Amino acid sequence: MVKVNQNYLKLPGSYLFSEVARRIAAHSAAHPEAKIIKLSIGDVTRPLVPAVVEAMHKAVDEQGTYAGFHGYGPEQGYPFLREAIAQFDYQKRGVDIQPQEIFISDGAKSDCGNIGDIFDVDNVVAVCDPVYPVYVDTNAMAGRAGDFMPELGRWSRLVYMPCVESNGFMPEPPKEKVDIIYLCFPNNPTGSMATREQLKMWVDYANKNGSIILYDSAYEAFISDPDIPHTIFEIEGARTCAIEFRSFSKTAGFTGTRCAYTVVPMELERDGAKLNTMWNRRQTTKFNGVPYIVQRGAEAVYTPEGRRQIMESIAYYQNNAKVIREGLTAAGLECFGGVNAPYIWIKTPNGMPSWDFFDLVLAKANVATTPGVGFGPSGEGFARLTAFGDAEATKEAVERVKAIL
Ligand code: MLT
């Protein structure tokens, strides 16, 4: 008789965004006339920019010719894209990252989950609380999280770093020694952003303890403050302790097109093994690369035209963030984030539990949010709103929420 992976059986209920989608669908079925505005999952709404579309059309035409056809590509990604990323996302900022340290993939979510393959099951993992649920659930699936304790909403072997109002939603290094540390800045879900000094403290902690920082920078394009680092590799010492995840999803509207990348520096070693070599081994075995057409589209993001066009989209979403923040603040809600990030983290009125607030706003205003507690116990009493909606719909959603408060 086949035995299943018992770790999956320990996972509570459904993945957060599936549960949110289920409740929205149930509300919609019960009220077919309701015009629901979704400010829940962080999915973009603006189309791909013309420079990307043009590059992809050209690549489609190439694929229809003998001379231009591409079959399997390099699992790590085509050199043209790895070189563009190294140059524009790193070297132009004075950060020395080489193309062979960059691995193109189909998503930061997949990479954040898959990276666990190269680490032992006994490592102690630290996560922020609240946190993007993928880090927790994938470690649980691998057997690294211990057992779920429903009364606490926590896993027994994970170390939780509370990110709450009193510490500015900034994790503090744990007292105990931890091996793997997930950091995400600009932060999902709180919208907070780490300064250079704060990141330096983490890099020093990791180098001192032999830990690895898994740095998720999927929302990097939303950094508006000139003093904020765009990559952990701007911090001295990061090359010996960090892996960085980036994505074209939120930067260039690729949520449905799928392209991202992971940076594993050559110096990064543990147990005498190079992590770049191990990740390469993992990817070449389990992954066959991102489609040529998609990689050509991603490359176009780095052309002057593409750059200008995606910056317009980002400015549009940044304005949505401002509309949400200012509108809900005026309505008397306490709002955090939304400045260097596309997420606004709001305190529910009168300490209302997150799921009650979710249900109330959905039922009365036909607006979908994401309940803060879904990101971890310290998210209780909060809700997350995304700035990735249509501008008019976002304004209307804010007005509707104001009206019911
Ligand atoms: C979110 O809403 O947190 C994100 O869209 C989820 C994701 O990127 O996977």
ipTM of the complex: 0.92
Residue 250 Cα, ligand 1 centroid: separation in angstroms?
9
Closest-CA residue to 27 (of 389, 400, 366):
366
Give pLDDT, residue 13.
80
CA torsion sign, 54 to 59 to 61 to 67? positive
Sequence-ordered list of residues with C-beta below 8 angstroms from that of 187, at least 6 positions apart, any chain: 128, 163, 169, 193, 219, 337, 341, 343
Q: Which CATH class is domain 53-303?
A: alpha beta
How far apart, in whole angstroms, are the C-alpha atoms of residue 320 and residue 42? 13
Amino acid in the structure at residue 300:
A
Q: Where are the alpha helices (DSSP H) in 213-274?
A: 249-252
Alpha carbon of 356 to those of 80, 328, 404: distances in Å? Answer: 49, 18, 14
Give pLDDT, residue 79.
98
How far apart, in whole angstroms, are the C-alpha atoms of residue 15 and residue 158? 18
Residue 108 Cα, ligand 1 centroid: separation in angstroms?
10
Atom number, ligand 1, closest to the C-alpha of residue 132: 3
CATH for the 6-47+305-404 domain, from 3.50.50.60, 3.90.1150.10, 3.90.920.20, 3.40.50.1000: 3.90.1150.10
Q: How many CB atoms lie within 10 A of CB 368?
A: 23
pLDDT by position in tens, the chain (length 405)? 999 999 999 998 878 899 999 999 999 999 999 999 999 999 999 999 999 999 999 999 999 999 999 999 999 999 999 999 999 999 999 999 999 999 999 999 999 999 999 999 999 999 999 999 999 999 999 999 999 999 999 999 999 999 999 999 999 999 999 999 999 999 999 999 999 999 999 999 999 999 999 999 999 999 999 999 999 999 999 999 999 999 999 999 999 999 999 999 999 999 999 999 999 999 999 999 999 999 999 999 999 999 999 999 999 999 999 999 999 999 999 999 999 999 999 999 999 999 999 999 999 999 999 999 999 999 999 999 999 999 999 999 999 999 998
Give pLDDT, residue 123.
98
Give pLDDT, residue 14.
78
Alpha carbon of 396 to those of 324, 328, 349, 391: distances in Å? Answer: 10, 12, 20, 9
Give the pair of three-digit tokens for residue 226: 């000139």
What strands lie across the sheet with 212-216, from one edge to the other?
A: 102-105, 260-263, 242-247, 212-216, 180-184, 125-129, 159-162
Residue nearest to atom 3 of ligand 1 (CA): 42
Residue nearest to atom 4 of ligand 1 (CA): 42
Give pLDDT, residue 43.
95
Residue 374 · residue 356 · CB < 8 Å: no
Residue nearest to atom 1 of ligand 1 (CA): 42
Closest-CA residue to 160 (of 181, 187, 143):
181
Point out the annotated binding site for pyridoxal 5'-phosphate.
72, 108-109, 132, 188, 219, 247-249, 258, 288
Point out the annotated binding site for substrate.
15, 42, 109, 132, 188, 288, 384
How far apart, in whole angstroms, are the C-alpha atoms of residue 222 and residue 263? 20
Residue 393 · residue 368 · CB < 8 Å: no
Residue 296 · residue 370 · CB < 8 Å: no
Q: Best substitution site from 43, 138, 251, 257 to test ligand 1's pocket, by max atoms within 8 Å of Cβ? A: 43
Residue 41 Cα, ligand 1 centroid: separation in angstroms?
6
Residue 84 Cα, ligand 1 centroid: separation in angstroms?
25
Closest-CA residue to 299 (of 115, 96, 49):
49
Closest-CA residue to 89 (of 251, 273, 294):
251
Q: Best substitution site from 18, 132, 385 to test ligand 1's pocket, by max atoms within 8 Å of Cβ? A: 132
132-171 burial, b at 16+ Cβ within 10 Å, e below that, comes to bbbbbbbbbbbbbbbebeeeebbbebbbbbbbeeeeebbb
Q: 């006994």: which residue's tokens?
A: 122
Atom number, ligand 1, closest to the C-alpha of residue 134: 9
- Domains of the chain, residue spans: 6-47+305-404, 53-303
The pocket around ligand 1, CB under 6 angstroms, is made up of: 41-43, 109, 132, 188
Alpha carbon of 142 to those of 3, 139, 187, 261, 387: distances in Å? Answer: 15, 5, 24, 22, 33
Q: Best substitution site from 188, 190, 375 to test ligand 1's pocket, by max atoms within 8 Å of Cβ? A: 188
Are β-strands 273-274 and 269-270 bridged in parallel, bridged antiparallel, or unpaired?
antiparallel
Alpha carbon of 404 to those of 105, 110, 361: distances in Å? Answer: 43, 38, 8
Q: Best substitution site from 41, 109, 382 to test ligand 1's pocket, by max atoms within 8 Å of Cβ? A: 41
Are β-strands 125-129 and 180-184 bridged in parallel, bridged antiparallel, or unpaired?
parallel
162-198 pLDDT, tens per residue?
A: 999 999 999 999 999 999 999 999 999 999 999 999 9
199-231 pLDDT, tens per residue?
A: 999 999 999 999 999 999 999 999 999 999 999
Name the strand (E) or helix (H) holding 37: strand 37-38
Give pLDDT, residue 15.
82
